[in-house]
C-alpha cells in the first residue's frame, strides 16, 4: 500500500527529520511505524512567512511494500551513427536536448557550436574577469552548454504545458545532477556542478553516434526556393543540410542580423531591462527568516521574489541568486552586461538579483522604429555601450549605492562587491533612460516597503542587466517550422520560445520531434 500525505515540520524537528517523518506518518495513517517500509519525499519547501519557520513535505509512504529503486524514466539511447542527419545550431539547453531527443528517435544530431568546450571555455571567462578581454565566441553566453553552463542552474519553470518537465529533471539526474532537484520546490544545480553535467550530456551524444563541432560558427544560410539547402561555417566551408534546428540563444546577434539581411522574417519582441542589486546575504536572511544574527545552518541562503506595477509597466526581480555573485556577461568588447549566478551550496557572502522593467516594444521604443524588427536589439545594444563608457571603457561596471540611486545622488564610495572586474561610481539614476530609471527608483521604494531592510545604503545597484530574454522572435508555424523557410526550425530562448534551462530544453525536444516527423 502507498499513501500520499502532507506534513509541516518545524525547524527543531528538521534536525531529526528521518525519524520525525516516520513517526508523524505512522501517527497520521494510524499504522505501526514498523509497518512503514519506506518513505519517498516528493516535494520539499520552506514557509518562512511567519516567525515560526516550517518545512512543508509531500511524501509517498510505503506500508508493507518495498520502496521502488528505479525511476519511471529510462534513457536508452540508440546508436545513430548511420541515422539521417539533423543539423543543430547551438549547444545550449535547447540544442543539447534537441540532440538527445534526435538520438532517442533514431536520427543523427550534428551540433555546430561557435564556442569552446567547458574546459577550454574557462580560460576565456578568466580573461573577461581579470583582463577585461571579451572573446566574442567564448564567454558566459557562448560555448558548450550555452549561458546555462556557468549559471545558477535554476530549474524553476511555469512552462508546464510545453512538455514533460519531470523528464528533463530526471535526465539531468541521469547525467549527474543531484537528486535533490527532484524534490526541492525551487531546484537549482549550481555553477560549480553544471559543467560536469553538460560534459556528461556531450559524452552521451558522442557515444551514441552524434557529432558535436566546437569553434564552428554558422556565418551564412544558402536558401533556394524558400528552402534551406546549406550553411556556411566560419565563412569558408559549405555544408549541405536537410533539416536545421536553430538554437543559438538570446545573445546571438549576428544570427538576427543575418536573418534580417537575407529578408527572412523576424519580429521585434517585448523584453525587460534594468540593473542588478546586490546585498550582503545576511541582510536578506534577516528579512526573510526574521532573525537578527546568523541564520540557522539548516536553512538555505534566503531568496526573494518581488513585483510591482509602476506607471503601467511591471518592475520585478529576475534570476535572484542567494549566496551568489555577479558576473560580466558581455558578448563583445565595447559593452558591459551583468548577470548573476550561485554555486551549489549558495554560500557566498552576497545576494544579488536582477531588478528589471518590462519594455513594450511597440509603445516604448518609438525612437527606434527606424530599425524595424531590430529595434529592441538596437536599444539593448545602446544601453550596454553606455554602461561600457560609464564604467570606464572596460568590464568595470557602473554602480551606485541603492539609496543614492533612488534619491538621485552620486555615491561618494561603493560597498564591497562580488563582481570581479570591479565597480565605478556613476550617477546611474540619470544615465538610464527615463522609461527604465524612473520606474526602477519607484520600484525600489515599493520593495523597501514590502521587505523592511531591503532599502539600504549597504546595497549596490549595478548596471546593466539587459539579457533577460531575446528582443527578437523568429516566427514559426504550428509544425514549429519557419513560415517562410522550409526545414528551418527556430528553437529555444533565441527564437523567443523559452525563458530558462527547463523551458529551453523542452522546446529543443519539441523541435527535434517536429524536424524528424515525416523525414
What CATH number is given to the structural domain containing 230? 3.50.50.60
Hunting for cell 523584453 — which residue is that? 271
Q: How far apart are CA 426 and CA 336, in angstroms?
A: 14
The reply to whether 326 falls in a domain is: yes
70 or 182: which leads in pLDDT: 182
| More confident site: 299 or 160 | 299
Q: Region 84-105: what's the mean pLDDT?
A: 98
80 lies in some domain: no
- Tell whether 161 is covered by a domain: yes
| 210 and 282 fall within a common domain | no
H helix runs in 208-338, sequence order: 253-261, 281-289
pLDDT of residue 408: 97
Taking the CB of residue 53, how many other CB atoms lie within 10 A of it? Answer: 21
**Same-domain check for residues 320 and 449:** yes
**pLDDT by residue (tens digit) across 194-247?**
999 999 999 999 999 999 999 999 999 999 999 999 999 999 999 999 999 999
Q: Please, what sign has the CA dihedral across residues 232, 234, 235, 238? A: negative
Q: Given a cut of 70, is residue 415 above it in pLDDT? A: yes
8 Å CB contact between 353 and 161: no
The arithmetic mean of pLDDT across residues 311-328, rounded, is: 96
Q: Residue 42: give the domain boundaries.
A: 2-63
> Is residue 61 predicted with pLDDT exceeding 80?
yes
Instruction: Please report which confidence band the pLDDT of residue 96 belongs to, taking 50, 70 and 90 as the band edges.
Output: very high
pLDDT tens digits, 9-51: 998 888 888 889 989 999 999 999 889 999 999 999 999 999 8
Mean pLDDT of 56-74: 89
Residue 161 has pLDDT above 70, yes or no: no
Residue bearing cell 556557468:
150
pLDDT reading at 169 higher than 90: yes
Query: Does the reported pTM lie above 0.85?
Result: yes
Considering the domain architecture, whether residues 174 and 245 belong to the same structural domain is answered as yes
The per-residue pLDDT of the chain, averaged, comes to 95
C-alpha cell, 176: 549527474
Does some domain include residue 72? Answer: no
Residues, the chain: 519
Question: Is 431 found in the same domain as 414?
Answer: yes
Same domain, 255 and 156: yes
At 104 the pLDDT is 97
In this structure, is residue 288 part of a structural domain?
Answer: yes
Residues 6+ apart with CB under 8 A from 345: 190, 323
**Is residue 251 a contact partner of residue 331, using CB atoms and an 8 Å limit?**
yes
What is the pLDDT averaged over residues 368-388?
98
Residue in 289, 262, 280 with CA at minimum distance from that of residue 458: 280
Count of structural domains, the chain: 3
Confidence of residue 432 (pLDDT cuts 50, 70, 90): very high
* Beta strands per DSSP E along 164-306: 211-213, 218-224, 227-233, 237-240, 244-246, 267-268, 271-280
Do 115 and 165 belong together in one domain? yes
Check residue 159 and give its pLDDT.
Answer: 62
Domain annotation covers residue 79: no
Q: Do both 141 and 51 map to the same domain?
A: no
Tell whether 117 and 50 lie within a shared domain: no
Mean pLDDT value across residues 357-382: 97
Q: Which grid cell is 121?
A: 571555455
Q: Are residues 163 and 307 in the same domain?
A: no
Q: What average pLDDT does range 165-183 have in this prediction?
A: 95
Predicted confidence (pLDDT) at residue 280 exceeds the cutoff of 70: yes
Instruction: Indicate whether 423 belongs to any domain.
Output: yes
Among 299, 296, 294, 280, which residue's Cα sits nearest to residue 47? 299
- pLDDT at 336 exceeding the cut of 90: yes
Q: Output the nine-digit C-alpha cell for 157.
A: 519553470
What does the alpha-carbon distance between residue 58 and residue 310 come to, in Å, rounded to a whole number?
37
Grid coordinates representing 303? 531568496
Our CA angle for 276, 279, 285, nearest 5°, is 130
Residue 251: which residues within 8 A CB-CB, separation 6 or more? Answer: 141, 142, 147, 331, 467, 494
Are residues 163 and 262 located together in one domain of the fold? yes
| Pick from 15-19, 390-394, 439-443, 464-468: least confident | 15-19
Residues 292 and 174 in one domain: no
> Nearest Cα to 311, choosing from 278, 360, 255?
360
Site of grid cell 512552462: 159
- Cα 293 from Cα 387, distance rounded (Å): 36
Express as a percent the part of the chain with pLDDT over 70. Answer: 99
75 lies in some domain: no
Residues 420 and 315 in one domain: yes
Which pLDDT band, with edges at 50, 70 and 90, does 160 fall under? Answer: low
CATH number at residue 36: 3.30.70.2700
Amino acid at each position: 500500500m502507498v499513501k500520499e500525505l502532507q506534513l509541516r515540520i518545524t525547524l527543531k524537528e528538521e534536525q531529526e527529520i528521518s525519524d520525525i517523518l516516520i513517526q508523524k506518518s505512522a501517527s497520521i495513517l494510524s499504522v505501526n511505524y514498523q509497518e512503514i517500509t519506506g518513505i519517498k519525499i516528493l516535494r520539499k519547501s520552506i514557509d518562512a512567512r511567519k516567525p515560526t519557520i516550517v518545512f512543508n513535505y509531500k511524501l509517498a509512504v510505503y506500508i508493507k511494500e518495498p520502496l521502488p529503486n528505479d525511476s519511471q524514466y529510462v534513457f536508452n539511447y540508440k546508436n545513430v551513427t548511420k541515422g539521417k542527419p539533423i543539423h543543430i545550431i547551438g549547444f545550449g539547453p535547447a540544442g543539447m536536448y534537441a540532440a538527445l531527443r534526435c538520438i532517442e528517435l533514431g536520427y543523427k544530431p550534428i551540433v555546430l557550436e561557435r564556442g569552446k568546450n567547458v574546459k577550454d571555455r574557462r580560460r576565456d571567462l578568466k580573461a573577461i574577469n581579470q583582463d577585461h578581454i571579451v572573446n566574442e565566441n567564448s564567454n558566459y553566453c557562448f560555448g558548450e552548454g550555452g549561458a546555462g553552463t556557468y549559471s545558477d542552474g535554476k530549474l524553476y519553470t511555469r512552462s508546464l504545458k510545453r512538455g514533460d518537465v519531470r523528464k528533463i529533471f530526471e535526465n539531468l539526474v541521469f547525467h549527474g545532477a543531484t537528486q535533490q532537484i527532484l524534490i526541492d520546490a525551487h531546484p537549482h544545480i549550481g555553477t560549480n556542478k553544471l559543467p560536469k553535467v553538460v560534459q556528461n550530456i556531450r559524452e552521451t551524444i558522442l557515444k551514441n553516434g552524434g557529432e558535436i563541432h566546437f569553434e564552428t560558427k554558422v556565418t551564412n544560410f544558402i536558401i533556394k526556393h524558400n528552402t534551406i539547402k546549406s550553411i556556411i561555417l566560419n565563412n569558408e566551408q559549405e555544408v549541405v543540410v536537410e533539416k536545421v534546428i536553430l538554437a543559438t540563444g538570446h545573445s546571438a546577434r549576428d544570427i538576427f542580423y543575418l536573418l534580417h539581411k537575407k529578408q527572412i522574417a523576424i519580429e521585434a519582441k517585448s523584453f525587460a531591462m534594468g540593473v542588478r542589486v546586490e546585498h550582503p546575504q545576511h541582510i536578506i536572511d534577516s528579512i526573510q527568516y526574521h532573525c537578527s544574527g546568523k541564520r540557522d545552518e539548516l536553512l538555505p541562503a534566503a531568496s526573494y521574489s518581488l513585483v510591482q506595477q509602476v506607471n503601467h509597466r511591471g518592475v520585478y526581480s529576475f534570476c535572484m541568486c542567494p549566496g551568489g555573485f555577479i558576473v560580466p556577461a558581455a558578448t563583445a568588447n565595447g559593452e558591459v552586461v551583468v548577470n548573476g549566478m550561485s554555486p551549489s551550496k549558495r554560500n557566498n557572502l552576497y545576494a544579488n538579483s536582477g531588478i528589471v522593467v518590462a519594455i513594450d516594444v511597440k509603445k516604448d521604443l518609438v525612437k527606434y522604429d527606424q530599425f524595424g524588427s531590430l529595434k529592441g536589439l538596437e536599444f539593448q545594444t545602446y544601453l550596454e555601450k553606455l554602461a561600457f563608457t560609464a564604467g570606464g571603457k572596460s568590464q568595470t561596471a557602473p554602480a551606485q549605492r541603492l539609496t543614492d540611486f533612488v534619491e538621485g545622488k552620486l555615491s561618494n564610495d561603493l560597498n564591497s562587491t562580488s563582481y570581479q572586474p570591479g565597480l565605478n561610481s556613476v550617477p546611474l539614476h540619470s544615465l538610464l533612460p527615463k522609461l527604465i530609471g524612473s520606474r526602477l527608483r519607484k520600484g525600489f521604494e515599493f520593495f523597501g516597503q514590502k521587505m523592511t531592510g531591503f532599502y539600504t545604503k549597504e546595497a549596490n545597484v549595478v548596471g546593466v542587466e539587459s539579457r533577460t530574454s531575446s528582443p527578437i522572435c523568429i516566427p514559426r508555424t504550428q509544425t514549429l517550422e519557419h513560415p517562410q523557410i522550409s526545414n528551418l526550425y527556430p528553437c529555444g530562448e533565441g527564437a523567443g520560445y523559452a525563458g530558462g534551462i527547463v523551458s529551453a530544453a523542452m522546446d529543443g525536444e519539441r523541435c527535434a520531434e517536429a524536424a524528424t516527423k515525416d523525414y
